[in-house]
Amino acid sequence: MTATAARSPGVAAAGGRTAFLALGSNLGDRRAHLEAALAALERADGVRVAAVSHAFENPAVVNPAVVNSAVGGPPQGDYLNAVAELATSLDPPALHRLCVGLERRAGRVRTTPDAPRTLDLDLLAVGDEVVAEPELTLPHPRALARAFVLGPWAEIAPQARVPGTSLAVVAAAARLRAAKPGAFEALVRAGPLAWARPRAGRPLVLRDRAALLAWRAALPGTLGFVPTMGALHAGHASLARRARAASDHVLVSVFVNPLQFGPREDFARYPRTLEADLDLLADEGVDAVYAPSADDVYREGDATTVEVAGPAEGYEGARRPGHFRGVATVVTKLLLCVRPDATWFGRKDAQQVAVVARVHADLGLPGRVVVAPTVRAADDLALSSRNRYLGDEDRARAAALPRALGAARDLAARGEPQALLLVARAREVLAADGVEAEYVDVVEPVGFRAVTHVGDEPALLVAAARVGAVRLLDNEWLVCPGAR
Ligand code: AMP
Q: What is the pLDDT of residue 193?
A: 95
pLDDT in tens, 188-219: 999 999 987 777 799 999 999 999 999 999 99
Q: Ligand 1 centroid to 321 CA: how many Å?
A: 21
Instruction: Of 116-130, 251-265, 332-346, 450-464, give the lowest mean pLDDT range.
Output: 116-130
pLDDT value at 81 more than 50: yes
Higher pLDDT pick, 227 / 129:
227
pLDDT value at 68 more than 50: no
- Three-state DSSP class for residue 289: strand
Please work out whether the CB of residue 257 comes within 6 Å of at least one atom of ligand 1. Answer: no
Which atom in ligand 1 lies closest to the alpha carbon of residue 382?
A: 19
Q: What is the pLDDT of residue 75?
A: 64
List residues bridging with 371 in a β-sheet. Answer: 345
Q: What is the pLDDT of residue 61?
A: 67
pLDDT value at 69 more than 50: no
pLDDT in tens, 229-285: 999 999 999 999 999 999 999 999 999 999 999 998 989 999 999 999 999 999 999
Mean pLDDT of the chain: 91
Q: Ligand 1 centroid to 235 CA: how many Å?
A: 6
CA 183, 185, 190: angle at the middle one, nearest 5?
A: 105
Which of 236, 249, 323, 360 is flagged as catalytic? Answer: 236
The helices-and-strands tally (H runs, E runs) of the chain is 16, 17
Please work out whether the CB of residue 478 comes within 6 Å of at least one atom of ligand 1. Answer: no
Alpha-carbon distance of 144 to 85, in angstroms, equals: 17
105-113 long-range contacts, Cβ below 8 Å, gap at least 24? Answer: 105/40, 106/25, 106/33, 106/36, 106/37, 107/28, 111/71, 112/66, 112/69, 112/71, 112/72, 113/63, 113/66
Q: What is the pLDDT of residue 1?
A: 30
Average pLDDT score over residue span 438-465: 97
What's the pLDDT band for 483 if we cut at 50, 70, 90? confident
Please work out whether the CB of residue 326 comes within 6 Å of at least one atom of ligand 1. Answer: no
Alpha-carbon distance of 203 to 244, in angstroms, equals: 13
Average pLDDT score over residue span 110-122: 78
Q: What is the pLDDT of residue 109?
A: 67
Please work out whether the CB of residue 229 comes within 6 Å of at least one atom of ligand 1. Answer: yes
Please work out whether the CB of residue 253 comes within 6 Å of at least one atom of ligand 1. Answer: no
Question: Which mutation among 156, 229, 239, 460 tests ligand 1's pocket best, with the greatest number of atoms within 8 A of CB?
Answer: 239
Average pLDDT score over residue span 429-457: 97
Q: What is the pLDDT of residue 73?
A: 52
Rounded to two decimals, the pTM is 0.93
Instruction: Name, of 10-19, 33-42, 174-183, 475-484, the range with top average pLDDT.
Output: 33-42
DSSP category for residue 257: -
Cβ–Cβ under 8 Å, residues 155 and 118: no
Alpha-carbon distance of 243 to 223, in angstroms, equals: 8
Burial tier of 113 (Cβ tally within 10 Å: 0-12, 13-18, 19+): exposed
Which atom in ligand 1 lies closest to the alpha carbon of residue 230?
A: 2
Buried b vs exposed e over 71-99: b needs ≥16 C-beta within 10 Å?
ebeeebeebbbbbbbbbbbbebeebbebb
pLDDT value at 13 more than 80: no
Question: Which mutation among 348, 380, 387 tests ligand 1's pocket best, with the greatest number of atoms within 8 A of CB?
Answer: 348
Protein residue with least CA distance to atom 7, ligand 1:
228
List residues bridging with 382 in a β-sheet. Answer: 376
pLDDT value at 64 more than 90: no
Q: What is the pLDDT of residue 6?
A: 33
Q: What percent of the chain has pLDDT over 70?
A: 92
pLDDT value at 5 more than 70: no
For this structure, is 33 an active site residue? no
234-246 and 274-283 are packed helices; what angle lies between their axes, rounded to 10 degrees? 40
What's the pLDDT band for 167 if we cut at 50, 70, 90? very high
Higher pLDDT pick, 484 / 223:
223
Please work out whether the CB of residue 146 comes within 6 Å of at least one atom of ligand 1. Answer: no
